[in-house]
Amino acid sequence: MVKVLLDPSMYHPHLSVADEVRKAAELGYRYLELSPRADFHEWHHRPKVDRHQIAEVKAAIKETGVRIHSFNPVFDWSSPDEEERQAQVRNWRRLLEIADALEVPLIATEFSGDPTNPRRSEAQFYRSIEELIPDFERYGLECTIEAHPYDFVEDNDRAVQIVRGVDRDWLNYEFCFPHAFHLGQGRRTPRQMMEYAGDRLRHLHVADVFDHTANVGNRYIVNPPGVDARVHQHNEIGNGEIDWDDAFAYLRERGYDGTVSVCVFGWEEDADAIHRRMRERILAELGGE
């Protein structure tokens, strides 16, 4: 049975983390995946949460029974700039302390780095991992990594290979459906990419997306032509072009029983209804809690 997690990004502007825990309970979720927000863990910055906020979140967890199952931080631990890489490793260490304090068992993150300098970025990634292995193992944390658009690695198979290169049972791969057309360049299905990940596939981000590679790339027009940018969405299932029947069939065939995070962004006016429908669809397809 899968664990279905709520990414509360659409509530960040007006709810505290403690209130997002309560919102998850209101929507029927038992688990939360906390994505970046300025007052907790922020993109590429030292986490800003203090012991008083941690106490507030613990109280909300005790009150509702909802658990923060994962943090979803973005730290540029693969930066080609060595001073920046060292700063990001310090940010990581603080985040892992907070995860331990809140009994969060999973960190779901990204490769980051520079896609224009992938070789140097990959070397920096492995250097950071080597420095952080003792911290992850001391706290008993699991970690999954995705190849995000504009990371130093944006290809599904290459990302899986890099994860395997670390060779730790607790470090695995996350497949992000709304990034699927980047991960496979529009030529490979989610089934094919998840199959390649094999036993390293331990976490999913679920949202729909349109294929930016369709119609000879004219689905999205970005100016000036050739600008170095990545386009995608995080939509509700059915508002995009992922073949969900095939994707869910594959997950059932392999008996997937890992974590599944609902990460729909940009539809705040209908957030509650979307999150309820997304949870119901995933449970209907995969079972779980």
Asked if residue 164 lies in contact with residue 133, where contact means CB atoms within 8 angstroms, the answer is no
Residue 216: pLDDT band with limits 50, 70, 90: low
Residue 217: pLDDT band with limits 50, 70, 90: low
pLDDT of residue 109: 98
| pLDDT(180) > 80 | yes
Per-residue model confidence as pLDDT tens digits over 80-99: 999 999 999 999 999 999 99
| pLDDT(218) > 90 | no
pLDDT of residue 47: 98
Residue 244: pLDDT band with limits 50, 70, 90: very high
Beta-strand ranges (E) seen in 91-186 are 106-110, 142-146, 171-176
pLDDT of residue 230: 67
Question: If you average pLDDT over residues 201-214, what whole number do you get?
Answer: 90
Q: How large is the C-alpha radius of gyration of the chain?
A: 18
| pLDDT(150) > 90 | no
pLDDT of residue 187: 82
pLDDT of residue 20: 98
Residue 224: pLDDT band with limits 50, 70, 90: confident
pLDDT of residue 220: 72
Bridge partners (DSSP) listed for residue 34: 71
pLDDT of residue 185: 82
**Residue showing tokens 């981000």:** 205
Q: What is the DSSP track for 213-260? A: TTGGGTSS--SSTT-S------BPTTSS---HHHHHHHHHHTT--SEE
Listed by start position, the domains of the chain span 3-286
Bridge partners (DSSP) listed for residue 144: 108, 172
Q: In percent, how much of the chain has pLDDT > 70? A: 97
Provide the CATH topology of domain 3-286.
TIM Barrel (3.20.20)
- At residue 202's C-alpha, the angle toward residues 195 and 152, to 5°, is 80
